[in-house]
Amino acid sequence: MSYEAYQRGDPVIITAALTGGVHGKEASPHLPETPEEVAAAAEACEDAGASVVHLHARKENGERDFSRERFQELTEAVRERTDLVVQHSTGGTGAPDDLRHEPLRTDPAPDMASLDMGPLNRYQHLTSENTRALVEALGEEMRERGIKPEMEVFNGGHLNEVHGLLERRPDLLDEPYHTTLIFGGGTTAMPTPRNFLNLVDHLPEGATFNTLAFGPHQLPFAAMGIVFGGHVRVGLEDNRYFRQGELATNEQLVERAATLARTLERPVASPDEAREILGL
């Protein structure tokens, strides 16, 4: 992907990350937790321009749930109401490796799944290790089940890991390789335009990419992703605010990204167009 893709007017895939595994309704009353709430938010986001939905499951009390049963319930609710590409999260801090596989085991399998490419510091005393062995094991199961990996690149070192995985295990990945470039604080890449361009310039040949930036960086980085031929991820998992002091809904964040893409003369991809672009 490149500026040429912008000049051609290639469609933009908008991913809606509706709810993460950390904050809940104490952070925003608009953040969905139950399968019914997530499905309703997904439907609204599809109407607003999303073509992919990134899903985390929650227990009844709002805590994160890795179980295939909960992901099954969640995915069935979303698929009943939308035609969105379904992507499950396999990320997790402090979760044993076997639980990280559970979101891949629904019937049918999700269309896509996230694949964190390296270690992350979380909070004061927690690290998400994401060893190479775990990355490859998750990749193997994705391959077996026909799930498209979305490689999560939190920093430049993780982009090294993408290239390393392609060298070690080319059997795990089909072109086009799909990545998410992540900007913010902590372990993520520092949110500057120069860092964005450096990561884009060093993607594998022919790779597609999402642009993901946390909090107030979400809007300007969405614009950069659109202009430089990439795709965009928005949603309350990554950013709770529409503007300073004003809480957002998932639908509002998707609608703003879609308006931005159209203003910049790139059409917004439908779910079927997203499937074609991603090689699903």
Closest CA to 161 of 134, 184, 186, 185: 134
pLDDT at 58 over 70: yes
pLDDT given at position 1? 57
Q: Residue 217 has what DSSP assignment?
A: G
pLDDT greater than 80 at residue 43: yes
Please name the residues in contact with 2: beta carbons below 8 A apart, sequence gap of 6 or more: 200, 228, 229
Helix, strand, or coil here: 184?
A: coil
Find residue 12's DSSP bridge partners: 268
In total, how many domains does the chain have? 1
E strand or H helix at 261? helix 250-263
Tens-place pLDDT, residues 93-150: 777 888 999 999 999 999 999 999 999 987 777 788 899 999 999 999 999 999 999 9
Report the distance separating Cα 232 and Cα 210, nearest Å.
5
**In this structure, what CATH number is given to the domain that contains residue 172?**
3.20.20.70
Structure tokens at 84: 């969105």
* Mean predicted lDDT score pLDDT of the chain: 94
Across the chain, the runs of DSSP E, i.e. the strands, are 14-17, 52-55, 57-58, 64-65, 85-88, 112-116, 120-122, 126-128, 148-153, 178-183, 208-213, 231-234, 241-243, 246-247
Domain holding 144, by residue range, is 3-278
**Residue keyed to tokens 């596989």:** 101
